[in-house]
Amino acid sequence: MNEFIQLYGESTKTALGFFWKSGWAFILGYFVSGMIQAFVSKGKMTKYMGDADFKSISLSTLFGSASSSCSFAALAAARSLVKKGAHFVAAVAFMFASTNLVIELGILIMIFLGWQFLAAEIIGGLILIAISSVLIKLTYPKKWIKETRNKLEEEDSSMDDDFNWKERITSRKGWHLVGQKFVNDWKMAWEDILIGFTIAGFVAVMVPADFWSALFLADATNIPSWLVTLENAVIAPFVAGATFIGSMGNIPLATVLNENGVMFAGIMGFIYSDLMVPPLVHINAKYYGWKVALYIAGIMFVSIVATALILNSAFSFFGIIPESAKVVQEVTQFKIDYTFWMNIVFVLVTGWLIYLYKQHKKEHGASMNMDMEGGGKFKKVAVTLFILINAVGISLFIYSTF
């Protein structure tokens, strides 16, 4: 019993350590995202996203990388863009970029895995978008997409698309809107972060390395290496889906996988699979219908596996496959270093942004909130459960320490 109490307490400490290490990065990322959302018009973006050519897809990727990393926000934004006239291929490119190429995700990967994985994430993200775009062009279900567009056009659009960014960026209202976007992003993302970091903490402490070795064939000496690589790339999206973790919550768990010998192809496949978790597939089904939602999931799966294999082959050929030297226990330590001071600075930034949010709410009410779906009742129950798990864990850690 004492051993279980210690493990439980250590798991919670590790989960909190993950958040401690990345807290300032989240705030910085969502602050930048809030400014981009407030000062860049999505409505005007669609003027450059109406085709499925190289220019349109490239600009969609750029727009996506400059948007919010919240998975639910990515789906909602993509739907709004399709509604405004963006081509379906361009909207999917935007959706992939907004969850794989955003600044806050890059900072997290740098912190938890190192710059080599960050470089791989950027290169692979571009490959992923290129492959998915080609696949959609080759298999484009015109009838389904036409039905989807007709359905979306019947809905009311709440997207703000007419403003002068130069006037807005120098106005009080514009910065109030930055605060509103920042707080709204946190409202959408904190549940995924809570669930993801808690799962990562408990997995890091309680799941033995042998489990990951068996699942990803890490110690399989009698199986050809190419087959192990393929198995890692194929199974990673299913492991990601089983965690129910969104885009920002899966990086700590990727660190756990890396520490336990999972191959490079498996780790990258896991990171790219953030949009394949069941709640997000279900949200796409609400937006577009089940046929299109499953079609998108299928395109994602094939693109993710292909990207992971291409990355692994290319990096192996050049002898640059990244091997993170960071381990979970080192990453999650509480100590006075740059993380401590960065967290203090960005707590102050958060206070200022919350003040701006309150000013926006006071003057404009609840206007300009993004129209999107959440995780439903199941997720609310899960969040309550995970809050309770952490509260009990903190108590047990304090108990086991004294």
Three-state secondary structure readout of the chain? CHHHHHHHHHHHHHHHHHHHHHHHHHHHHHHHHHHHHHHCCHHHHHHHCCCCCHHHHHHHHHHHHCCCCCHHHHHHHHHHHHHCCCCHHHHHHHHHHHHHCCHHHHHHHHHHCCHHHHHHHHHHHHHHHHHHHHHHHHHCCHHHHHHHHHHHHCCCCCCCCCCCHHHHHCCHHHHHHHHHHHHHHHHHHHHHHHHHHHHHHHHHHHCCHHHHHHHCCCCCCCCCHHHHHHHHHHHHHHHHHHHCCCCCCHHHHHHHHHHCCCCHHHHHHHHHHHHHCHHHHHHHHHHHCHHHHHHHHHHHHHHHHHHHHHHHHHHHHCCCCCCCCCCHHHHCCCCCCHHHHHHHHHHHHHHHHHHHHHHHHHHHCCCCCCCCCCCHHHHHHHHHHHHHHHHHHHHHHHHHHC
Q: pLDDT class for 285, splitting at 50, 70, 90? A: confident
Task: Give the residue with greater pLDDT, 114 vs 373.
Answer: 114
What mean pLDDT is reported for the chain?
82
pLDDT in the model for residue 288: 83
Least confident range of 13-17, 65-69, 97-101, 328-332: 328-332
Residue 25 has pLDDT above 70, yes or no: yes
Mean pLDDT confidence for 196-209: 80
Residue 47 has pLDDT above 90, yes or no: no
Percent of the chain with pLDDT over 90: 21
Residue 160 has pLDDT above 60, yes or no: no
Distance between CA 34 and CA 259 in Å, rounded? 34
Mean pLDDT confidence for 296-318: 94
- Spell out the residues 6+ positions from residue 296 whose beta carbon is closer than 8 angstroms to its own: 92, 281, 284, 288
pLDDT in the model for residue 352: 95
Mean pLDDT confidence for 25-36: 77
pLDDT in the model for residue 266: 92
Residue 186 has pLDDT above 70, yes or no: yes
Distance between CA 233 and CA 356 in Å, rounded? 44
Least confident range of 16-20, 99-103, 191-195, 318-322: 191-195
Q: Give per-residue pLDDT as tens, 84-106.
A: 778 889 988 988 898 888 887 88
Q: Exposure pattern of 80-110 as b/e (b: 16+ CB <10 Å)?
A: bbbbbebbbbbbbbbbbbbbbbbbbbbbbbb
Please tell me the number of Cα atoms within 13 Å of 321 on its side-chain side: 18
Q: pLDDT class for 159, splitting at 50, 70, 90? A: very low
Residue 397 has pLDDT above 70, yes or no: yes
Of the segments 220-224, 232-236, 261-265, 320-324, which one has the largest average pLDDT value? 232-236
Of the segments 31-40, 42-51, 121-130, 372-381, which one has the largest average pLDDT value? 121-130
Mean pLDDT confidence for 105-127: 88
Residue 198 has pLDDT above 50, yes or no: yes
* Cβ atoms of 245 and 196 closer than 8 Å: yes
pLDDT in the model for residue 154: 65
Residue 158 has pLDDT above 60, yes or no: no
pLDDT in the model for residue 368: 46
Q: Which domain holds residue 44?
A: 2-401
CA triple 220-110-273, angle to 5 deg: 55
CA triple 198-113-315, angle to 5 deg: 135
Q: pLDDT class for 139, splitting at 50, 70, 90? A: very high
Q: What is the number of domains present in the chain?
A: 1
Q: pLDDT class for 229, splitting at 50, 70, 90? A: very high
pLDDT in the model for residue 181: 85
Distance between CA 108 and CA 103 in Å, rounded? 9
Q: Give per-residue pLDDT as tens, 328-384.
A: 666 666 777 777 898 899 899 999 999 999 998 888 765 544 445 555 677 788 888
pLDDT in the model for residue 338: 75
- The token pair that represents 206 in the structure block: 């309680």
* Cβ atoms of 277 and 240 closer than 8 Å: yes
